[in-house]
Structure 1
Amino acid sequence: MLQSESCYLHIIDPQERLMAHIHEASRVTETIIKMVNCARIIGLPVIANTQYKKGLGAYVTGLEELMDEVPRPDKIEFNALANAETKELVSALPATVDTAILVGVETHICVYQTALGLQELGFSSWIVADGVSSRLEKNHLLGLARLRDTGAAIGPAEMILYELLAKAGSAQFKEVLPHII
């Protein structure tokens, strides 16, 4: 079972110019926003990346506004952990953190390669199935299959959030609930 003290949320490249071409981009954006809001309530650290911001632009509207205090290195690497600044941020997480919850694009490129990079550092990866996608649906589905083959756990945002919450009735549950219903 996921424990909040062992997890962090990693957002990968949901930028305007790229998201304009992503399969079911609005679903992915809504899920990432949900995950960011809930991560704050639950107390998960959040790290984000952009891919060549000069060319692909800022994050999509609605998400960009939530990024003020989130470290967000710009990268040219597909594996975010191959970026020195990102690797440093991940390495500086509390020692109890050993699981990355990944959202963003593209499933079969940056999400996949980042999950592999995390494995090399000893992290487990949970892929938020409704919070990732690719330009082509078939690449998204093949990416999810390959991620599962490499040992990543895959599930919808709601499954992950309820697992982190563990029970109803708490103050955290009541604060998260409007974001998941």
Structure 2
Amino acid sequence: MLLNADDSQVVLVDFQTKLMPAIHEGQAVLGNAVRLARLAQLLHVPLCVTEHCPEKLGGTDPALATFSYELLEKFSFSAVPAGLADRLSHNLAGPQFVDSNVAWLQRPVSGGTQSRRTILLAGCEAHVCLLQTALDLVPHAYRVCVVTDACGSRSPHSRDLAYQRLASAGVELVTLEMVAFEWIRVTTHPAWKEALAIIK
């Protein structure tokens, strides 16, 4: 099933100033997280950012400071015990849309509600906080997707094993370009050129 911007929420896990320098290919990972946030902003997809023990790991990287997001501070590795599921549930009410295969032509169905049940996760470290958050969201009946090129760990081996475990648990592994092209769907979308400029 294709991703739909109207059904999506984005969670960026622990892109923090004292953590990112230790992440393998951290600048590329952070760059893709920024692109994901820009796409979310462009298409009005809700964005939540987590910080783990910020007094030790620092605040969110300044590269993400220009975006509007909900901030969730946590001390557990998973963001779910810290209230992430409750935060995400705030975005569940809204008009239901008929999927016309042209995302921007979708039309509301009277009397229905749409759930933003697709959660796109990106973050660090992939084998710790990201993994535990994703696995904890699965029982909440969300469609959980991990944007792999916007995730990282200190060790590529740990990151890759995290992806294997996530996939075996039913979490979908996607890339930034998959998200962008599926959210946009058609080159006649009003945001097509802006979206293309973000990912290219």
Match of 1:113 in 2: 132
Q: What is the TM-score normalised by the length of structure 1?
A: 0.94
Q: How many residues align?
A: 178
Secondary structure (helix, strand or coil) at the match of 1:159 reads: helix
Separation in 2, partners of 1:127, 1:120: 16
Separation in 2, partners of 1:164, 1:170: 10
Contact 2:85/2:137 (8 A) holds in 1: no
Residue 161 (structure 1) shift: 1.1
Separation in 2, partners of 1:160, 1:53: 29
Separation in 2, partners of 1:119, 1:153: 11
Separation in 1, partners of 2:139, 2:76: 16
Mapping of 1:1-150 within 5 angstroms?
1-63=2-64, 65-67=65-67, 69-84=68-83, 86-95=84-93, 96-150=115-169
- One-letter code aligned to 2:22: H
Question: CA RMSD, aligned part only?
Answer: 1.1
Residue 169 (structure 1) shift: 2.5
Secondary structure (helix, strand or coil) at the match of 2:76 reads: coil
Residue by residue over 1:135-180, the C-alpha shift from the partner in whole angstroms, topping out at 9 and shown as x without a partner, is 1110000001111111111121011110111111221112211101
- One-letter code aligned to 1:22: I
- One-letter code aligned to 2:80: L
Separation in 2, partners of 1:169, 1:17: 42
Residue 88 (structure 1) shift: 2.1
Residue 90 (structure 1) shift: 1.2
Secondary structure (helix, strand or coil) at the match of 2:127 reads: helix
Q: Which 10-residue stretch deviates more, 106-115 or 89-98?
A: 89-98
- One-letter code aligned to 2:153: S
Separation in 1, partners of 2:44, 2:11: 14
Residue 124 (structure 1) shift: 1.3
Secondary structure (helix, strand or coil) at the match of 2:62 reads: coil
- One-letter code aligned to 1:23: H
Separation in 2, partners of 1:62, 1:11: 13
Q: What is the TM-score normalised by the length of structure 2?
A: 0.85
Long gaps (5+) in structure 1: none
Separation in 1, partners of 2:155, 2:8: 29
- One-letter code aligned to 2:156: E
Long gaps (5+) in structure 2: 94-114
Report whether the alignment pairs 1:163 with 2:162: no
Separation in 1, partners of 2:165, 2:175: 17
Q: Which 10-residue stretch deviates more, 171-180 or 129-138?
A: 171-180
